[in-house]
Structure 1
């Protein structure tokens, strides 16, 4: 068994319409699925991605209206990366974000790659990372109707950073249970802190990396809008997922067991620093219940929620989708 890379990352938003506007109009991503939180159908669960919503390109948001702001800290997924093709694209994004009133930290080297860090309007910690000279998991295909030029468009998820009070327990789960490999390390931005450890899985590269930052000087993060709920890793198919479930259960990690999310199948568990991991299958995919050309245009519901469509739609505010 071998995890193939990052499948998706799920974060929190307090305002789904504003979130939709920013990630489609400013960031140029495609809304590939407009659905609801299966655990609370009164709010949206929005999926953004590439042309087809390929695994490894999916950035998702749970809507929690009136959620307080995220209090950054420890035991957290402290940064999400989005891949672009090359260093030139970072210069384009530096100007584009400035034009939309978004401040950036400037282009910096992280783990041997050029990067551009910024926060979205709700404070979400984002890093654009250049794939120039990157080898490993191939990126996705930008949406043909994106608001950004194809040559500069976002092509998928990049490294995910975890910030924990003690790195070794998290690194142990990633390497010994999940099969990640230690790739190297790089210096943190704050002097006096341990190096950030880089781990990779599958074919490696920016689409298959986790960066573990040890910070024992921080309080525990209080999750809110602008925070990240969980990171999911790619599993090839359902048969392999069931093997992973057995392995996680044998290792005595409390876990969700098999979960059918309709667009993919999943397992959830928390590692020792309380960060939520998900293992998710590559399929069936987001065109299971919608034609590829019309992904995200209407509210999609899994079959078990379809009988409740009228009640669900009545509780949701429109996103004003114009696709």
Structure 2
């Protein structure tokens, strides 16, 4: 079997205060809060997930709110920008909405025959709103936010931009191992695409220049996760990557998916996460993201953790 990642599963970043994060991603961008849980490696910290109405793989933007972390910096080994896909013709709406939220959108840029807006969230995380046709039907078009018309709503991920000192080794990993194709170059960006019928199918590479390593902090992407359809496919990925001489972790149980991690040659932390079992394992679709969910091994600590974590208010819970 020839392996090929279908696209991005999720992107995880570091933010400041958790409530500020919810206010921006759930209220301004209109994403659904699909899970409130904890960082399994640091349970005193929330892990917040946003996505479409069902938490479909390829739509989940996630955050570790490390309120007191210093602001991150750019450099090699960085995911410099995360792209969200919106319908064609909606950038004027998003420009006005983001300007009103203080996100300082830049002028509309055109590259690879796509129009995009480049913006920053409250912690300085760079993201791009990219206009174009949806590449796979998702439930994101359902009206999640009353102020965002369905025809303007965020579909899912478009892709990511990685800054690395030397793009060539990363490019070889993408094409020779992960199944991407090199489809173009524009303004110093090398574009790679996997399944064009899937969301989150694009990785852009760019030379970081000086070679100074990225400083991880608020506003930094922690890792980029790519999809494996199930555990069997993930095991095949683990063997393939190991055979390429790249160290890979053992499988980590993240409840909603299973994960393996490795660093690509440019230093960006990659994950391969399974589509299953999914975010509905502990909540119905109607109740996704409403309450703090804990993995079984932390349930005995629920009372202590709930007292330690800040209480969060979703946009539709405000009186």
Alignment TM class, shorter chain as reference = over 0.9
Q: Residues 22-42 of structure 1, C-alpha deviation per residue, up to 9 Å, x if partnerless?
A: 111111110000000000000
Q: What are the ranges of 5 or more consecutive residues in structure 1 without an aligned counterpart? A: 188-194
**TM-score scaled by length of structure 2:** 0.94
| 8 Å Cα contact 1:137/1:208 also seen in 2 | no
1:1-323 map, 5 Å: 1-86=3-88, 88-132=89-133, 136-147=135-146, 148-187=148-187, 195-203=188-196, 207-217=200-210, 219-321=212-314, 322-323=316-317
CA deviation profile, 1:213-252 (whole Å, cap 9, x unmatched): 0132352210110110011111111111111111122222
How many angstroms does 1:144 deviate by?
Answer: 3.0
Q: CA deviation at 1:138?
A: 4.4
- The ranges of structure 1 where at least 4 consecutive aligned residues each deviate by more than 6 angstroms after the TM superposition are none
In the TM superposition, what is the alpha-carbon distance from 1:53 to its structure 2 partner?
A: 0.6
Q: How far, CA to CA, are the matches of 2:211 and 2:236 in structure 1? A: 37
1:75-110 CA-partner distances (Å, limit 9, x unpaired): 210000011011x21110001111222211111112
Q: Check the 8 A contact 1:8/1:232 in 2, yes or no.
A: yes
Alpha-carbon contact 1:29-1:154 (below 8 Å) kept: yes
TM-score normalised by structure 1 residue count: 0.93
Q: Is the 8 A contact 1:36 1:301 kept in 2?
A: yes
State the Cα deviation string for residues 286-318 of structure 1 (Å, max 9, x = none).
Answer: 111001101000001122222221121111011
Q: CA deviation at 1:205?
A: 6.5
2:58–2:199 CA contact under 8 A, matched in 1: no
The two structures, once aligned, show a CA RMSD in angstroms of: 1.5
Q: Is contact 2:161-2:206 (8 Å) kept? A: yes
Question: Tell me, what secondary structure is at the counterpart of 2:297?
Answer: coil
Report the secondary structure of 1:105's partner residue: coil
Specify every segment of 5 or more residues in structure 2 that has no aligned partner in the other structure, as ranges: none
